[in-house]
Structures are given as structure tokens and as C-alpha cells.
Amino acid sequence: MKIATWNVNSLTVRLQQVVAWLNSNPVDVLCLQELKQTDEMFPKEVFQKLGYHAWWRGQKTYNGVAIISRLPGDEVVGELPHLEDPQRRFLAVTVQGVRVVCLYIPNGGELDSDKYAYKKQWLAALFQWLEGEYGRYPRLVVTGDYNIAPAALDVHKPAMWEATPIFSPEMQESFRQMLAMGFGDCFRTLHPQEVQYTWWDYRLGGFSRNQGLRIDHILASPAMLSGLASCVIDKIPRGWDRPSDHAPVVATFE
């Protein structure tokens, strides 16, 4: 099974890019973040024509997540049960016995801001929910834009980012807390020392200078990790005209 994650930074703007990418990369499951469109605007018919089922949680202007799959799914959950949150950042679907979770974790603003407090509250609710899911679903994959760079290897200038909610020591510890549940970071499992990024700022030639962050991740339970064959970051779409600032990440499980 091939599972991919991609923050598209507006599905309305980049729908044709997603379609083109799927035609060249026919993954089994694609998790999308930052739809930036209401539920009514979601292009269900476009994905159906490509042979995909779809589940989504949209929101005007900001946020929004979706999971599309070649196989039917069930056990859909669209809200974290331990958090009252109007922001659409979470979706889970079971596909052929694999529990797939799509996350758009909050950015966090500044370390002394309400947005950072919200990020920590959101993560606490996520961890509480994942602990239950981990026991119920041996085959569990948690994908998405985490807005967390786990280590210095994942940041082009660590000293510049340490005082931000992306790379603060507290957020690095939160990522380690997820790994301590038993998950493995698919990319880092296969590429322990490789420097690659999934996000590059639009400003100051971030992509052309390869000044980025690895903040989009696919984490997998041991039952899935044992069959992990590859995990790649596809930088090609980041070089397209009017691209998302994120690149897709694709994990292949045998």
C-alpha cells in the first residue's frame, strides 16, 4: 500500500496539480491538508473520475483536511473527541484494515501566544486519542503537516528556528513523545542521516536555495513499519508554477 501526505495550501488553487500528480503517482491513499474550502466546494466528482473514494472536513479560508483512497473505507472520525475545536484539522478513516489518520497540527504562532497554548492543547488531545487507537488498530499510520521539525537535521538553520513553535525544545519533545508510543518516523527510519525538507518559504528563494524544514511526516505502528519498503519526499511539484510551499511525502508498505 502506498500512502502519501501533502499540504496543498488551497485545493481550489492547486486541484489540477493534485490531479496531475496522482496521474503520475497513483498512490492508494492520499492525505491532504489546508484545503481552504468549505465542504460544499470539495471536488468529490474529480476524484471519483480518477477512481478514488473521498472523505473531507472543509473550512473556509483556513485549514481543512481530506483523505482520498482507491479502496473503500469506514470508521470515519472527523473530530478529536477530547477537544472542542471549530478548526478542521483532523480526519481518520480505516482502509483495508489500515487506520489512516490525516493531521494538520497548528503552527503555534509565537511561543508566548494563545496560538502556542492552543497547539499544546491540541497535541494533548491528539496524544490521548492516539493512545486508544494504538491499542485498537495494530496497522496504524499517522500522516500530515505536523508543523514540527523533529531534530536539527530537519532544519536548514537550527539556531534561527529554536525560538519558534516549529522547532522549540518543547515541540521536539512532543514529537519524541509520539515516537515513544511505538510509532516510527518512516522517512527517518530509512534515511537516518539524509538532509531533506518538505517545506520551503515562498520568500527569499527558499526552494531554490534549499532552505527548508522537514515538517510533513508519516508515522507508522510496528506492524506497518515492518513492511516499510520506501519513503520519499517528492520535490518535483514544489518547482511547478504557483506551487504549494510543501512537497508530498510518500511511504510504500509491502
Task: Check residue 82 and give its pLDDT.
Answer: 87
Q: What is the DSSP string of the chain?
A: -EEEEEE-S-HHHHHHHHHHHHHHS--SEEEEE---S-GGG--HHHHHHTT-EEEEE--SSS--EEEEESS-EEEEE-S-TT----S--EEEEEETTEEEEEEE-----STTSHHHHHHHHHHHHHHHHHHHHHHH-SSEEEEEE-----SGGGBSSHHHHTTSTTT-HHHHHHHHHHHHTT-EEHHHHH-TT----SEE-TGGGTTTTT-EE--EEEEE-HHHHTTEEEEEE--GGGGSSS--SB--EEEEE-
pLDDT at 123 over 90: yes
| Containing structural domain, residue 83 | 2-253
- Alpha-carbon distance 120 to 196, whole Å? 26
How many domains does the chain divide into? 1
Catalytic residue among 104, 137, 146, 197: 104
Residue 234 among the catalytic residues = no
pLDDT at 177 over 90: yes
Length of the chain in residues, anyone? Answer: 254
pLDDT at 94 over 90: yes
Q: What is the mean pLDDT of residues 206-222?
A: 97
pLDDT at 204 over 90: no
Q: What is the mean pLDDT of residues 207-220?
A: 97
pTM: 0.98
Residue 104 among the catalytic residues = yes
Write out pLDDT tens, residues 2-57. 999 999 999 999 999 999 999 999 999 999 999 999 999 999 999 999 999 999 99
Catalytic residue among 52, 116, 137, 145: 145
CATH number at residue 184: 3.60.10.10
Task: Check residue 242 and give its pLDDT.
Answer: 97
Q: What is the mean pLDDT of residues 105-125?
A: 97
- Neighbouring-strand partners of residue 213: 155, 199
